[in-house]
A and B are shown apart, each in its own frame.
Chain A
Amino acid sequence: MKKFPDSRIPDIASCSLPNHLSVTIVPMKKLSILFTLVVSFTLPVRAADFSEQLAKLNSVGPEGKGNTEAAAAWNEITAGPAATILPILTAMDGASPLAMNWMRSAAEAILEKEKKSGNDLPTAELQAFLLNRENDPQARFLAYDFLAGSNTNETAALVPGMIDDPSPPLRRVAVAGLIAQGRSELATPETAAATLQTALDAARDVDQIDEIAKLLREDLEKSVDLPTQFGFLMRWHLIGPFDNTDREGFDRVYPPEEKVDLAAAHEGKDGKEVRWETYATSDDYGMVDFNTPFSPLKQVTGYAYTEFQSAGEQQVELRLGCKNAWKIWLNGEFLFGRDEYHRGIRIDQYILPVTLKPGRNTLLVKACQNEQEQDWTVQWEFQLRVCDDTGAAVLSTDRQPTPEPEEKARRRTAE
């Protein structure tokens, strides 16, 4: 991804609208081709230098900061011609989520205006922007979206090459194509299996992974290791129950929060001694179920501990799903907590960007169960996976095979 050392905003004058543009096309893995495409074009109208206005969009901050200045800049930018769309997309690199939206809406307002006026889009530049994988992933998808709305066939021809694209939404389009192809090949199982395995390897979105796994398993009788595909953490140490009467356990600091000693015994709820126990789940979605070792309980708190061996220092995302109140610590540092009970759970419900250190990293999860008695409040569980910001699994270097179903919820007192 391109970076602008002095400012997140590129110098529009230096990057805008040459009469001849040299664009490097990042290699498409499947095609294994590296080439440079020289695109010649003439823009109908040159864009003005909107770098100051784009800087205003990029300056919006918390609690409404910068909105007034951004609105004035937005009006000036959107008065620009179609050629202004490219500098806007370029400025998205490194922009905040709010600034991205200011820029997106500006680009789309220009697009809408120019279409109504019957003006041509800068399709060659948009295509070059789309194909340059160093550009912002979401901005590239917008370029794709704009192109798909005007030259459908030409844009569709680019889709198969996006199967390994770093932009998740672009990759999603390509994976959708492979899923459709795999479905059409089901009469020839091995061909379909190969197509769908390629799709599975490329897929990053949960719904697509689920759809592919279902086809492979149910239609083609192939095995799919979903926990590894997603990067769920399957082997843990659990301890509990501690008290959570009146939901007070969420804020109470129990011994595991101060120090994790897997050999230690602690005083749990009602004065009973509790110890760490090893636990492995074979659930497709890595569900860690406190009720399995501890039996269904109410108004209790449990902790889960595991370790993750990182190949090096790396940025990853911890993606957690939990319908109980929860807290999480990485290497002893508190990351986030949430005191919501039984409003729902899904994969990637909470996304926490973190930096793993090389080697051993520790993870501690606290999960609190409340007092509700309805049948939909029995669950006392969570799921946690480690992945990159596209959703691709990042696996511990010492990851063990996914537990077999008979290993599920194996209970054993820790050594």
Chain B
Amino acid sequence: MRSIIFCLTILALTSLSHADWLNFRGPQGSGYAKEIENLPQSLNEESIAWKVALPGRGLSSPVIVGDKLFVTAASGPDQKQLHILCFDRNSGDPIWERRFWATGRTMAHKKTNVAAPTPASDGERIYALYSSNDLICVDLDGNLIWMRGLTLDYPNASNSLGMASSPLIAGDTLVAQIENDSESFAAGFDLLTGENKWKMDRPKAANWTSPTILNLDGEEIVALQSSKGVVGVVPATGSTLFEFGKGASTIPSSVASGNRLYVPANGLTVLDVTGDGSEPTEVWNESTQRPGTASPLVIGETVYLLNNAGVLTASNTDSGERLWRTRLNGPFSGSPVAGSDPFLYIFNEAGIGQVVDLSGAEGAIVSELELGETILSTPSLSDGAIYVRSDNSLWALSNP
């Protein structure tokens, strides 16, 4: 049996393409995909490869598997209608759509909405979570595999401002943080059945951060961030491997690079994590480097932070020494992303896409593209294209 599972796992892994973008902020939730190439180095009107209308609102990012792009939305009175949409990522042609009625509460602050969490994929299936705590699994052709109504199961698990944490797949487990002021928990779900593999109580406090994957000597550990700090859990069992208890932000998420975790805590706190169960070591902390809504981005030996004033700061990952800073055209609700080339991509709330050249002594905006719609989401990347959505539209941006 074990050998069958091993073969299936290998099969699943080999079916993934390096150009896929499988969850919020791409590989390991980092925002950085060093294998993704040929992204546009400047954006202008001719960069718009296609634009399609969406049937409802959403802050979720597109997920890309092969030639298919998946995105969620919510529509109708009180956003009670949930959508999963599949498009041809090359043409923007619609392939299929599935709609569901929300089974949980759909109340949310007007700036966010019910389709705030980004789905996750294992390359074979899409796992879509909504602020209503509906968790839906479909295969790449839109066949329904399973559905959970987590507010039906856990009636006080909701946030009247809206939930936004995006789920993540680690190994053969889907990890989601359903954290709020009342019935607050995180859980690991079986990828094929949707049943709980584990469920753990979490701090009773609203939390919009998403889980992050740490790769420790080949083993994936999921970092769960909250107002209390960060805990590292084994995704298959939910058992706690390490804990950082000095508190952390509840909006921007941590990012991992190797065995190092960059935590939005007291500004930015950088931790070295081992897989032996010992407490993480604090490498450095810089209280003046305070991420705003956007999560940090780590590329090589540089960590990039975007604060609420729209100032992008680059710092050395080992020392925290500030290398440069530059003001972008904010404000921002989404986070920056990057591919193999030294360019950072981000869209501000006014819908202005910005390309920041990171190759010089200091970062500089090299081009801007005004899309004309409010954008509160994080873009997704695939070879040759940037995908971003607003409440009304989905764009593909590429080299003309």
Write the residues of chain A forming the contact surface with B, with a CB cutoff of 8 angstroms.
60, 62-65, 67-68, 70-71, 74-75, 78, 97-98, 100-102, 104-106, 108-109, 112, 138, 172, 205, 207, 323, 336, 338-341, 343-346, 349-350
Besides A339-B204, A349-B107, 7 more A-B contacts (Cβ < 8 Å) are: A70-B144, A97-B152, A101-B101, A109-B96, A109-B98, A343-B160, A344-B160
Known: A67-B194, A98-B149, A345-B160. A78 touches B143 (CB 8 A): yes
Q: How far is the CB of A395 from chain B (nearest CB, A)?
A: 24
Within 8 A of A (CB), among B183-239: 189-190, 192-196, 204, 206
Taking CB atoms, residues of chain A closer than 8 Å to B148 are 63-64
Is B327 part of the binding interface, using a Cβ–Cβ cutoff of 8 Å?
no
Contact B153 A71, beta carbon cutoff 8 Å: no
Given A60-B147, A63-B195: A207 and B160 interface contact (C-beta under 8 Å): no
Whether the pair A105, B98 counts as a contact (CB closer than 8 A) is yes
Q: In the bound complex, do residue A71 and residue B144 qualify as a contact, i.e. CB atoms below 8 Å apart?
A: yes
When the two chains form their complex, are residues A346 and B107 in contact, meaning their CB atoms are under 8 A apart?
Answer: yes
A62 cross-chain contacts in B, Cβ below 8 A: 152-153
Chain B, residue nearest A350 (CB): B105
Taking a contact as CB atoms under 8 Å apart, the answer to whether B160 and A349 are in contact is yes
Which B residues are closer than 8 A to A by beta carbons? 77, 96-101, 103, 105, 107, 109, 136, 142-149, 152-153, 155-156, 158-161, 180-182, 189-190, 192-196, 204, 206
A346 to B189, CA, bound (A): 32
A207 touches B98 (CB 8 A): no
A207 to B76, CA, bound (A): 12
Cβ–Cβ < 8 Å partners of A71 in chain B: 143-146
Contact B160 A102 (CB under 8 A): no
Q: Which residues of B contact A172 (CB under 8 A)?
A: 77
Q: Is B146's CB under 8 angstroms from A67's CB? A: yes
Instruction: Determine which residue in B97, B145, B147 has the highest number of CB atoms from chain A within 10 A of its CB, and name it.
Output: B147
Q: Are B145 and A339 in contact (CB under 8 A)?
A: no
The residue of chain B having its C-beta at the shortest distance from the C-beta of A78 within the complex is: B143
CB <8 Å contact, B160 and A105: no
CB neighbours of B136 from chain A (8 A):
101
- Rounded to whole angstroms, the CA-CA distance of A403 and B100 in the bound complex is 42
Specify which of B105, B161, B182, B189 is in contact with A339 (CB 8 Å cutoff): B182
Contacting pair B103 A97 (CB below 8 A): yes
A sample of 11 inter-chain contacts (CB < 8 A) reads: A63-B148, A98-B147, A105-B144, A112-B96, A338-B182, A339-B156, A340-B182, A343-B181, A344-B160, A345-B160, A349-B105
- In the complex, which of the residues A98, A138, A343, A344 contacts B103, with contact meaning CB atoms closer than 8 Å? A98
- Known contacts A97-B101, A101-B100, A172-B77; A341/B143 CB under 8 A: no
Chain B residues, CB < 8 A from A349: 105, 107, 160
A78: chain B residues at CB < 8 Å are 143
Cα distance A64–B204 in the bound complex, in angstroms? 24
Residues of B within 8 A of A101 (CB): 100-101, 103, 136, 147
A71, B191: Cα distance in complex, Å: 13
Residues in A neighbouring B180, C-beta threshold 8 A:
340
Q: In the docked arrangement, what's the CA distance between A105 and B147, Å?
A: 11
Q: How long is the Cα–Cα vector from A244 to B22 in the complex, in angstroms?
A: 45
**From residue B134, how far is it (CB to closest CB) to chain A in Å?**
8
Q: How far is the CB of B37 from chain A (nearest CB, A)?
A: 34
State in angstroms the CA–CA spacing of A223 and B140 once bound together: 54
Are B193 and A105 in touch, CB under 8 angstroms? no
Interfacial chain A residues near B193, Cβ < 8 Å: 64, 67-68
When C-beta atoms are compared, the residue in chain B nearest to A74 turns out to be: B144
Q: How far is the CA of A57 from the CA of B153 in the complex (A)?
A: 18
With both chains docked as a complex, state the minimum distance between the C-beta of A351 and any C-beta of chain B, in angstroms.
Answer: 9
User: Which 10 pairs across A and B sit closest by C-beta, in order of nearness?
Assistant: A67-B146, A64-B195, A343-B160, A344-B160, A340-B181, A64-B194, A97-B103, A101-B100, A343-B161, A67-B194
A153 CB, nearest partner CB in chain B, Å: 22
Docked-complex contact B159 and A74, CB < 8 angstroms: no
Report the bound CA distance from A172 to B77 in whole Å.
10
Tell me if B142 and A102 are in contact (CB < 8 A).
no
CB < 8 Å neighbour of A67 from B97, B147, B206 = B147
Q: Tell me if A104 and B181 are in contact (CB < 8 A).
A: no
Pair B161/A344 contact, Cβ less than 8 Å: yes
